[in-house]
Chains A and B, each alone.
Chain A
Amino acid sequence: MEIAFYLAGFIAVLSTLGMILSRNPVHGLLYMIVSLLSVAMIFFTVGAAFAGALEMIVYAGAILVLFVFVMMMLNLGDTVMQIEKTWLQPRTWILPSLLSVLLLSQLVAVLWRNHLPAVGHVVSAKQVGIALYGPYILAVELASLILLAALVVAFHLGQKDEVRESIAQ
């Protein structure tokens, strides 16, 4: 299991790097899908199979489909790659990478001191549900409120505005 964990982690890091560095937006999304799948694999190896499956269904299976959908709708082609080339100057990525190195060193320091185990106990879907609707009920309700707000906004934007149209005429 530990080999699978480290392998998945390695792939996750590599594919995330690939996502940031690739100039072609669809290739970037492909790297992102691989990265999400490898994170799901990490969840599987540490015993959180439910979280891993949800990661695959929700992120890799639905949200990224939407991203690719938008990329296909826009179908930007070579112009974007030219723009991306001008974006990735050393000047722009030095500060973000310094900040990331800071975060990484912090993470390494924490892991060094505590020796967190790579393999935990198996968490079933039932336990996740009980935790979500027990101590974390407020977070669930807040998240659903945000989703409801997004839904209302999307509905409003998608609606045909008959009043405005009649005024325009």
Chain B
Amino acid sequence: MLILIAILKALVILISVVLGAAILVFVERRLLALWQDRHGPNRVGPFGLFQLPADMLKMIFKEDWTPPFVDKIIFWLAPAIAMSALLISFAVIPITPTLGVIDLNVGVLFFLAMGGLAVYAVMFAGWSSNNKYALLGGLRSAAQTLSYEVFMGLSLMGVVAVTGSFSLRDIVIAQKDVWFIVPQFLGFIIFFIAGVALTHRTPFDAPEAEQELAAGYHTEYSGLKFGMFMVGEYVAMVVVSAMLVVLFLGGWQGLSWLPNFLNPPPIIWFMAKMAFCIMIFILLRGALPRPRYSDVMIAGWKVLLPLSLLNLLITGAVILYV
């Protein structure tokens, strides 16, 4: 019986993450339109709500064409990795005190490992397509990954050092009095930048820069395979937002100084914080231009890596002497 409930919980979380990611496609278009003084998709159904099912139907029934010059196995593998790598890492995220798939004692590392594997989707797609635009996209993605992955891991180590555990549940519990965004503000900023780079969204979307590279690494993809890349990007956004909430914004914990009747249940807190992070992601896309990818690498190695080391040093010193 317990096993059944656990499986049910995991399924509900899985389905809501995938559905949420799909709905985000629509939400993003509407929000961007709002911020840029346009209407956005508002014709299909009330408020344009049926735009998403219409797009999905189109994508599912479109011919899924595999070009003859591609490397088939890797070409088919890439969208599966794009969709699943970060989706799996949502399993370690504690949503409320009772909701969550697993409480891994190396949760933070598991997320980093899955984030590291996610890059293969872009690289394999770029290589197997046998297309120079796709290859350039894959190359940029690899170069970008090598530069952000190091400081992404290091920026989290401050949080881990303060908590004394890699378990995300312990990290949330450790933020009972004050959210880690206050003592670990530098770590938060660095992880946020790395998180945006992990999702390959603007301003770090050089791998799919449409002005220079057609559609970048997924130029040759069509139909549902392209859809998987697209939903994979939004899944990445959801997972990174959830990680931001868990690591720096107190997870399910509310503000303890609020009166009781103003404190909604933990799940509402978690969802609200996550929605806030996702909105920031979307706003970034509407606001920032894209730097050249060599500039991204220089900023990563020469600015953010030293900063994250400094953050770790200060955190270590404070833990030792306070």
| Residue pair B105, A69 in contact (C-beta under 8 Å) | no
CA gap between A27 and B71 in the complex, in Å: 10
Known contacts A27-B74, A65-B146, A68-B142, then 17 further A-B pairs from the complex at CB < 8 Å, ordered by chain A residue? A26-B124, A30-B124, A49-B104, A53-B106, A53-B112, A56-B117, A57-B113, A57-B153, A61-B117, A62-B116, A65-B120, A65-B145, A68-B120, A68-B127, A69-B143, A72-B127, A125-B106
> Which residues of chain B come closer than 8 Å to A54, judged between CB atoms?
109
A-B contact pairs, 12 of them (CB 8 A): A26-B74, A53-B110, A56-B116, A57-B153, A61-B115, A62-B146, A65-B119, A65-B142, A68-B123, A68-B142, A72-B123, A72-B138
Q: Are A73 and B139 in contact (CB under 8 A)?
A: yes
| A33: Cβ under 8 A from any B Cβ | yes
The listed residue with most B CB atoms (<10 A of its CB), out of A26, A53, A56, is A53
Contact of B113 (CB < 8 Å), options: A30, A56, A65, A68? A56
Contacts of A73 in B (CB 8 A): 139
Does A75 count as interface, using CB distance less than 8 angstroms?
Answer: yes
Q: Contact partner of A125 among B112, B123, B143, B166, CB < 8 A?
A: B166
List residues of A (10-52) whose CB comes within 8 Å of B's CBs: 24, 26-27, 30, 33, 40, 49-50, 52
- Report chain B residues within 8 Å CB of A8: none
- Which residues on the B side are within 8 Å of A72 (C-beta)? 123, 126-127, 135, 138-139, 142
Q: Which residue of B lies closest to A71 (CB)?
A: B127
Summed over the interface, the residue pairs from A and B with CB atoms below 8 Å come to a total of: 80
Q: In chain B, residues 117-154, which have Cβ atoms closer than 8 Å to a Cβ of chain A? A: 117, 119-120, 123-124, 126-128, 135, 138-139, 142-143, 145-146, 149, 153
Interface of A is mostly: helix
* CB neighbours of A106 from chain B (8 A): none
Interface residues on chain A, size class: 20 to 34
Chain B residues with CB under 8 Å of A57's CB are 109, 112-113, 116, 153
**Chain A interface residues toward B at CB < 8 A:** 24, 26-27, 30, 33, 40, 49-50, 52-54, 56-57, 60-62, 65-66, 68-69, 71-73, 75, 124-125
- Chain B proximity of A123: nearest CB distance (Å): 11
Nearest B residue (CB) for A55: B113
Contact A61 to B116, CB < 8 A, known contacts A26-B71, A50-B109, A75-B135? yes
User: Interface code B159-177, partner A: CB below 8 Å = 1, 0 otherwise?
Assistant: 0000000100000000000
CB pair A60–B146 under 8 Å, yes or no, is no
Q: Which residues of B contact A24 (CB under 8 A)?
A: 71
Residues of A close to B110: CB separation below 8 A: 53
Q: Which residue of B lies closest to A122 (CB)?
A: B105
Chain A residue numbers with a CB within 8 Å of B139 are: 69, 72-73
Chain A residues near B142: list those with CB within 8 A: 65-66, 68-69, 72
Q: How far is the CB of A157 from chain B (nearest CB, A)?
A: 16
Q: How far is the CA of A33 from the CA of B109 in the complex (A)?
A: 18
Nearest residue (CB) in B for A54 is B109
CB of A11 to closest CB in B, whole Å: 16
Please give, as numbers and ranges, the residues of chain A lying within 8 Å of B77 by CB-CB distance. Answer: 30
CB distance from B214 to the nearest CB of A (A): 17
* Identity of the chain A residue whose Cβ is nearest the Cβ of B110 in the assembled complex: A53
In the bound complex, what is the Cα–Cα distance between A54 and B192 (angstroms)?
A: 22
Nearest-neighbour CB distance to chain A for B147, whole angstroms, equals 11
A-side contacts of B127, CB under 8 Å: 26, 68, 71-72
